[in-house]
Structure 1
Amino acid sequence: MSNIAIVYYSQGGATAMIAHSVAQGVNDAGAHAQLFSIEPHQVIGNQWHDEVMLSRLAAADAIIFGAPAFQGGVAAAFKAFADATTGMWRARSWRNKVAGGFAFSCRSGEDKRNTLDYFAALAAQHGMVWADAQADDAEFEMRGAAGSPVTRFAGDFPAVTAPGVEVDAAYALDPADVIAGKQYGRNVASLVARLAGEVLESPAVLARRALEAAERRL
């Protein structure tokens, strides 16, 4: 079973909610999701420190990055974490792992795209394989945060643009993006499995096979 790490920074709760939806998608695909939250207490003397987290990330098969977009770019707390991965880069600990990312912003500008571009650049520096979100063209429609219909493609990610004044505010999260987060988690898990030559099966299928095996032993 593949281990997929989701390391994120969330200030107001929305990014954390997306992270958990991505984790659910990973688990639904039959892989194992590990959530790692970047916390203020990890920043000591303007530098981020958590060797235990870094060692666990080094052991993961894939790493998905998440952060809100602040003032046109990635949040400072996540940047502090990224700066602290220099040792991982020197040791090539993340090389050839699958990487992905998601971002949140209340604004309609390109700040989310800038944040995703930063994640992709970070992954490239580490020699990682970027997971494209466009794995499924299935279309669905939901009521957005403002009550208006929102059309999404299941592979679209992220697409969080909600009215409000607080960046990363949980109340501004569009329900459609929770669904997109789950789909993205499944996409990443599927890519990891394909690269490893594995065949992923859902927990329901695995449970049914276990039950059938138990019945045969009776």
Structure 2
Amino acid sequence: MPSIAVVYHSGYGHTQRMAQAVAEGAGARLIAIDADGNLPAGGWEELKAADGIIFGSPTYMGSPTWQFKKFADASSKQWFAQEWKDKVAAGFTNSAGMNGDKFNALVDLFTLAMQHSMIWVSQGLMPSNTRAAKRDDVNYLVSYSGAIAQSPSDAGADAMSAGDLETARLFGKRVAEVTARLARA
């Protein structure tokens, strides 16, 4: 089984709940970026040792949080040493709006991965976009580049859509399967 890390920042708990679902699907270790934008002790070493890294952040004002950006900027040492080159990468985000410019946040995560010469894994799920589709269906929000979720701004993480959380779990599973396939190659 490949070693996968989910490194994420969560402002109010919604993205943490999504990270937990992604990690469950991937059999991954969670590494939380704290409120000051720092990793816990040993976090950088865990990322170096991982076969794959899944990035996660809420979408605030159309991009990842400043805490996630601080982490991304701090990864320049890893970039210079090419420590993450050819590792599998993927990303997820959550916002209060149905759209909320989540795609732009995913592009930021993708760009970070490309800067590090990583291999990006897409969502890999067909959309739930028929008239019969329900809000709790898998990939109801329809993303191909990474997992996305929507959480009402006046509700806690316990009110997240079951379909969004299942989408996140299936996304983590896909990342683990692709990482395992590449490790065997």
The match for 1:52 is: 42
Asked if residue 181 in structure 1 is aligned to residue 168 in structure 2, the reply is: yes
Task: Report the Cα distance in structure 1 between the residues aligned to 2:137 and 2:41, rounded to whole angstroms.
Answer: 42
Name 1:36's counterpart in structure 2.
31
Q: Quick one: distance in 2 between partners of 1:82 and 1:5?
A: 15
Distance 1:55 1:181 in 2: 25
> Which of structures 1 and 2 has the bigger CA Rg?
1
**Aligned-partner Cα distance in 1 for 2:96–2:86:** 33
SS of alignment partner, residue 181 of structure 1: helix
Q: Distance in 2 between matches of 1:13 and 1:49?
A: 17
Quick one: which amino acid aligns to residue 34 of structure 1?
R
- Paired residue for 1:7? 7
* 1:59, distance to aligned residue in structure 2 (A): 0.6
- Asked whether the equivalents of residues 49 and 84 of structure 1 are also in contact (C-alpha less than 8 Å), the reply is no
5+ unaligned residues in a row in structure 1: which ranges? 28-32, 199-218
Cα distance in 2 for residues equivalent to 1:149 and 1:98: 30
Pick aligned residue for 2:76 from 86, 104, 119: 86
- Given candidates 144, 151, 157, the residue that maps to 1:170 is 157
RMSD between aligned alpha carbons?
Answer: 2.6
SS at match of 2:48: helix
Secondary structure of 1:66 counterpart: strand
Indicate which of 129, 138, 143 corresponds to 1:152: 138
Structure with the higher strand share, 1 or 2: 1
Q: TM-score under structure 2 normalisation?
A: 0.86
Could you give the per-residue CA deviations for residues 126-174 of structure 1, whole angstroms, max 9, x where no partner exists?
000001111x448699xx9xxx6444349955342343357xx414421
Question: How far does residue 88 in structure 1 lie from its aligned partner after superposition?
Answer: 0.2
Superposed, 1:104-183 pairs within 5 Å as 104-134=94-124, 136-137=125-126, 149-153=135-139, 156=143, 157-165=146-154, 169-183=156-170
TM-score in terms of structure 1 length: 0.74
- The 2-side partners of 1:110 and 1:140 are apart by 19
Uncovered stretches (5+) of structure 2, i.e. residues with no partner? none
Q: How many residues align?
A: 180
Counterpart residue type for residue 164 of structure 1: S
Counterpart code for 2:161: D
